[in-house]
Amino acid sequence: MDKFALLVGLLMTTVFMATGGYTLLPREWYDPSCDIKGNISINSREKIYHVRGQENYLATNILPQYGERWFCSEEDAVAAGWRKARR
């Protein structure tokens, strides 16, 4: 990527964030308190969420391209059809 394109991209991002444009994005994309990991099981395809302190929380990686996502509350996760991890 050339320097001009990088500069334009950086400037556009700065303006977007400074003018509150981030509020148009889903909250879990920009709010650090949205730390509940919504993971889809490879074997069962079951939607499972993990909260801090659970056994597999740190090892769980969220891959949005496979439908996985972050949640801001357990209520949000349950309402979206996910269940809490057993461990």
- Residue 58 covered by a domain: yes
- Residue at 19 is within a domain: no
> Domain for residue 5, yes or no?
no
Q: Which residues contact 36 (CB under 8 A, 6 or more apart)?
A: 49, 50, 51, 70, 71, 72, 73, 74, 76, 77
Query: Does any domain span residue 4?
Result: no
Give the chain's domain count. Answer: 1
User: What are the pLDDT digits (tens) for 48-77?
Assistant: 999 999 999 999 998 888 999 999 999 999
9 within some domain: no
30 found inside a domain: yes
Across the range 17-24, mean pLDDT stands at 60
Count of beta carbons in the 10 Å neighbourhood of residue 40: 16
Q: For residue 54, how many other CB atoms are within 10 A of its CB?
A: 15
Structure-model confidence comparison of residues 15 and 39, the more confident one: 39
* Domain span holding position 57: 25-84
Compute the average pLDDT of residues 31-38.
Answer: 83
